[in-house]
Amino acid sequence: MKKKFVMIIDQNRCIGCDCCTIACIKENNTPYHWIEVETLNTPNKDTPQGKFPELTMDFLPKLCNHCSNPPCVSACPVDAIQKREDGIVVILKEHCDGCQLCLNACPYGIIKFNDVMSVAEKCNFCVHRVEQGLEPFCVTCCEGQAIYFGDINDKECKISQLLVELKTFVLLPEKGTDPNVYYIPPRPRKRF
């Protein structure tokens, strides 16, 4: 069976440290944030939600969803964006003509335009590492061990088991893109 790589991000374990963002910048040598950690229900990372002692903070790391039905691919007039056999969506920079149509086509607003090189950029699941049997660098560097990555068609893989056992959600399912980045939502907190 063909491989199909997916990611799961556990919001219960994400501490909003931005290690994933820094790891991605270092690994991919880009000044742009291909993964960004959003702070939920509060204006910034200095302001928890709720009243002491019942304070909470939730985070949502966002990156390319490597959609099964990716509108960015069909929007690209020069076939610079391709969905690989293993499910990873890549931008071939050498083919990109800088038209930026993909930026509007992606409903997640996840594609960045590199003004210096005049090309579109985004997360590629660290495909250069995956091809060597390694995981994306954000997974390796995640301080809270909140990110899982693997082949959903490998039933022995932890990611396949998590998707069976746990309730997960994807972003903007109504857009019909069929994302391959899943989130484990925060569990209800205990009251002290």
Q: Which residues bind ligand SF4 (CB under 6 A)?
A: 64-67, 70-72, 89, 106, 108, 110-111, 122, 177
Q: What is the DSSP string of 69-118?
A: S-HHHHH-TT--EEE-TTS-EEE-TTT-----HHHHH-TT---EEETTTT
Angstrom distance (rounded) from CA 92 to CA 119: 9
Taking the complex as a whole, the smallest distance from the CB of residue 64 to ligand SF4 amounts, in Å, to 3
By C-beta, is 57 or 64 nearer to ligand SF4? 64
Taking the complex as a whole, the smallest distance from the CB of residue 77 to ligand SF4 amounts, in Å, to 15
Taking the complex as a whole, the smallest distance from the CB of residue 21 to ligand SF4 amounts, in Å, to 17
By C-beta, is 33 or 66 nearer to ligand SF4? 66
By C-beta, is 17 or 99 nearer to ligand SF4? 99
Taking the complex as a whole, the smallest distance from the CB of residue 183 to ligand SF4 amounts, in Å, to 14
By C-beta, is 57 or 106 nearer to ligand SF4? 106
Bridge partners of 120?
113
> For residue 163, what are the CA distances in angstroms to 14, 50, 169?
18, 31, 10
Greatest pairwise CA separation for the chain in angstroms = 58
